[in-house]
Amino acid sequence: MPARRRPWRLPAPRGPVEVLGAGLAVLAATSVLMRLLHAVFTRWWPLLLLALIAAGAWLLWRRGTAAARHQHRRRLLERLRISADDLDAMDDRAFELALRDLLVRDGWSARHVGRHGDQAADVIAEHPRFGRLVVQAKHTRTGAKVGSQVMYQVKGTAGPVHGAHTAVVVTNGGFTRDATTWGRRHDIGCVDRARLHAWADSGEPLHQLLGLTAPRLRGLPALRAALPRLRPRTHEGAPGVQ
């Protein structure tokens, strides 16, 4: 069995001469370091002071932002909170309406459009910052997974048919690996059971979960976004949501 190699160590000084030399070397290194620090603080102390002030301000801003986010989430939960069990117990229509209500809670103007022939859109929502969002809801039994075919349908209709800037598929189950990969590649948001719980029961707004940013609108899309949209009317002739 080969002998274990010992880690290298600085040899201890032997004799008064080596001790004196080691002491002088330490003093010289300390002197150089002190001069260097003195030169830095003498010449660059305004910059160092500004850096410290900036770092302190950044820390205070981070704490304030986190506190504001926590307060905002608590206010959202006071308005509406839906547990995973409650979502599982819903039928398809109730699930779609719950997603609409959650979007309204988050500050979106949302309407339910899901019906036969809805062209892969169950909820359409508008936001002054994030534009138009199309939601395809897939309520299923726990453990079931949404496949790639749903992602193809949503991609084919979200923009061309519904004029959406963002499309997302929401399920109380999960997604196949192919569906997740295809959705990520083609900018289709995937909200599975865990993310749905964070949205509905923990108060994390959907636009934060998806990391949405303001879309760049040019030409006719920008004009359409600036004009007020007419809500669909019910069969009684009064405006409202389904």
Mean pLDDT of the chain: 81
Residues 145 and 192 in one domain: yes
pLDDT of residue 183: 94
pLDDT bucket at 234, cuts 50 / 70 / 90: very low
Q: Which of 66-75, 147-156, 210-219 has the lowest mean pLDDT?
A: 210-219
Q: Is 231 helix (H, G, I), strand (E, B) or coil?
A: coil
Specify the CATH number for the domain of residue 121: 3.40.1350.10
pLDDT bucket at 242, cuts 50 / 70 / 90: very low
Task: Write the CA distances from 222 to 5, 57, 131, integer angstroms.
Answer: 71, 37, 10
* CA pair distance 186, 180, nearest whole angstrom: 10
Number of domains in the chain: 2
Q: Which domain holds residue 31?
A: 15-79
Q: Are strands 109-112 and 123-127 parallel, antiparallel or unpaired?
A: antiparallel
Residues 62 and 108 in one domain: no
pLDDT of residue 158: 92
Return all residues near 101 (Cβ < 8 A) that are at least 6 apart: 80, 110
Question: Cβ(129)–Cβ(228) under 8 Å?
Answer: no
Tell which of 23, 47, 79 closes a domain: 79
Question: Cβ(183)–Cβ(189) under 8 Å?
Answer: yes
The most confident of the ranges 2-16, 56-70, 115-129, 176-190 is 176-190
Residues 158 and 203 in one domain: yes
CA 137 to chain centre: 20
Residues 21 and 133 in one domain: no
Biggest alpha carbon distance in the chain?
A: 105
6: in domain:
no
97: in domain:
yes
Tokens linked to 186: 């083609």
Q: Are strands 174-175 and 166-171 parallel, antiparallel or unpaired?
A: unpaired
Tell which of 79, 99, 116 closes a domain: 79
Residues 71 and 111 in one domain: no
Q: What is the pLDDT of residues 121-151, one digit of tens each?
A: 999 999 999 999 999 999 998 778 999 999 9
The pLDDT > 70 percentage for the chain reads 79
Residues 205 and 99 in one domain: yes
Residues 108 and 69 in one domain: no
* Run of H or E including 132: strand 131-138
Residues 72 and 183 in one domain: no
